[in-house]
């Protein structure tokens, strides 16, 4: 899934890109080691907005000091990104290190375009948070390394909550529902803005239920939308939506939910931390009333499940500098520089032990507690086609919100989901 980095408050899930780059004619062997690194140039591709300039500068200095080699960071744009990286990985001289979207990693790994990073995992990844690391593994092998992540939080209007007499943020889902009910009774505000097709919030609820959107049937994947766990997640979504007047057949981008919130007549919405900046841009006066909290789960000790969007770093299988590329990963993903990235960008780092770096960033502080229990869409190459417009799962959501039984609504779209899962990649 392609996600966009919109501000330094926090970020969303991202995709990757690369452009072809020439190999260094000197010391071009994949097996080159420290004795021959000096004089080589490593090409690293990151997406526009992913790496703060200070982080890039510091990692570059550390890498060049430690290896004697040069590193050439090349920033990629979003348009046409999937085709660019697919093409680059098939060439003889691809970029050495690539930023790849976490949910897209399996598709690239399945083509044979990514190098096995088991040795990098052994060296620096023993304590990677399992929920954020899972997307970098395909078919049991470590084809990438987790870099950074973000998830949804509750963004709320403190003034409206105070007007309703609410003095503390909720710690459980039932407390949250009670607060929304209170806002509806005691203020003229819409308690929650939640359009009917906020699909990634729904995916988080499925993750929280322990549900899966696909299942294996013989040698292929098929829809699991009729699973009672998915239905239970949809019923929870329906409960949330009962506090909202948002359209049932639109997603959070139509209209932009942050712009609706910016009008000052909404108690809360569920979104990425950077969406608060969008609200402030639309209405500067709302900035003083912004607050954030973790989406509450059933019990106070376990936040709600969330979709984790983000990026991994990978090494091209055809790189002529594989050992040097892996050394770059060991530096860039070290506690020092992973922590620095988290502090500068407000992202969720790849280790729980580094989450202290988001202190002072309220959106990131709200996002971090849910990361350990987060997850993604199905990590299979076949999944990407399912989310193509029109997304059949969004249609399912709207049907249920309009009163259709979840099992019947699932039956209506499962043939389309299965058709997409069967597409050749």
The predicted-structure confidence for 360-371, as pLDDT tens digits, reads as follows: 999 999 999 999
pLDDT at 96 over 60: yes
pLDDT at 378 over 50: yes
Mean pLDDT on 318-334: 97
The phi and psi torsions of 87 (rounded to 5 degrees) equal -65, -45
Ramachandran sector of residue 403 (left: φ over 0; alpha: ψ -120 to 50; beta: rest): left
- Predicted confidence band of residue 22 (pLDDT cuts 50, 70, 90): very low
pLDDT at 1 over 70: no
Mean pLDDT on 306-335: 97
DSSP 368: G
| pLDDT number for residue 34 | 79
pLDDT at 11 over 80: no
| pLDDT number for residue 35 | 76
The predicted-structure confidence for 202-225, as pLDDT tens digits, reads as follows: 999 999 999 999 999 999 999 999
| pLDDT number for residue 424 | 58
CB 294 within 8 A of CB 373: no
What Cα–Cα distance (Å) separates residue 79 from each residue in 15, 17, 92, 294, 366?
10, 9, 23, 32, 31
Q: What's CA 183's distance to the chain center, in Å?
A: 31
For residue 276, whether the previous peptide bond is cis, meaning omega lies within 30 degrees of 0, is no
| pLDDT number for residue 77 | 86
| pLDDT number for residue 32 | 56
Whether pTM exceeds 0.85: yes
């Amino acid at each position: 899934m392609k996600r966009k980095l919109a501000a330094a408050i926090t970020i969303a899930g991202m995709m990757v890109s690369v452009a072809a780059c020439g190999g260094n004619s000197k010391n071009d062997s994949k097996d080159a080691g420290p004795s021959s690194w000096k004089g080589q140039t490593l090409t690293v591709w990151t997406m526009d907005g992913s790496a703060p300039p200070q982080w890039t500068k510091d990692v570059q200095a550390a890498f060049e000091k430690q290896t004697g080699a040069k590193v050439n960071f090349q920033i990629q744009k979003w348009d046409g990104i999937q085709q660019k990286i697919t093409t680059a990985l098939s060439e003889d001289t691809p970029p050495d290190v690539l930023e790849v979207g976490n949910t897209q990693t399996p598709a690239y790994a399945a083509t044979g375009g990514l190098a096995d990073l088991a040795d990098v995992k052994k060296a620096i990844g023993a304590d990677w948070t399992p929920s954020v690391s899972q997307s970098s593994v395909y078919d049991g092998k470590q084809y990438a390394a987790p870099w950074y992540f973000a998830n949804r939080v509750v963004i709320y209007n403190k003034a409206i909550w105070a007007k309703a007499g609410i003095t503390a943020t909720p710690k459980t889902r039932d407390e949250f529902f009670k607060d929304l009910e209170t806002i509806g009774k005691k203020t003229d505000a819409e308690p929650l803005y939640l359009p009917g097709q906020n699909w990634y919030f729904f995916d988080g609820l499925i993750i929280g239920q322990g549900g899966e959107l696909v299942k294996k049937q013989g040698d292929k994947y098929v829809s699991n939308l009729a699973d009672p766990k998915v239905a239970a997640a949809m019923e929870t979504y329906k409960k949330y939506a009962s506090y909202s007047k948002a359209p049932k057949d639109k997603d959070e981008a139509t209209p932009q939910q942050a712009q609706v919130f910016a009008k000052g007549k909404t108690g809360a919405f569920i979104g990425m931390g950077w969406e608060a900046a969008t609200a402030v841009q639309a209405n500067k006066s709302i900035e003083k009333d912004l607050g954030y909290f973790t989406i509450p789960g059933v019990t106070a000790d376990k936040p709600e499940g969330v979709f984790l969007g983000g990026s991994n770093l990978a090494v091209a299988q055809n790189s002529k500098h594989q050992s040097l590329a892996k050394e770059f990963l060991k530096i860039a993903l070290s506690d020092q520089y992973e922590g620095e990235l988290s502090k500068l960008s407000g992202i969720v780092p790849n280790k729980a032990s580094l989450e202290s770096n988001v202190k002072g960033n309220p959106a990131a502080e709200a996002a971090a507690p849910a990361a350990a229990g987060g997850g993604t869409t199905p990590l299979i190459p076949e999944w990407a086609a399912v989310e193509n417009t029109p997304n059949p799962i969004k249609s399912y959501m709207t049907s249920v919100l309009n009163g259709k039984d979840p099992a019947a609504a699932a039956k209506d779209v499962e043939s389309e989901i299965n058709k997409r899962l069967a597409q050749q990649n």
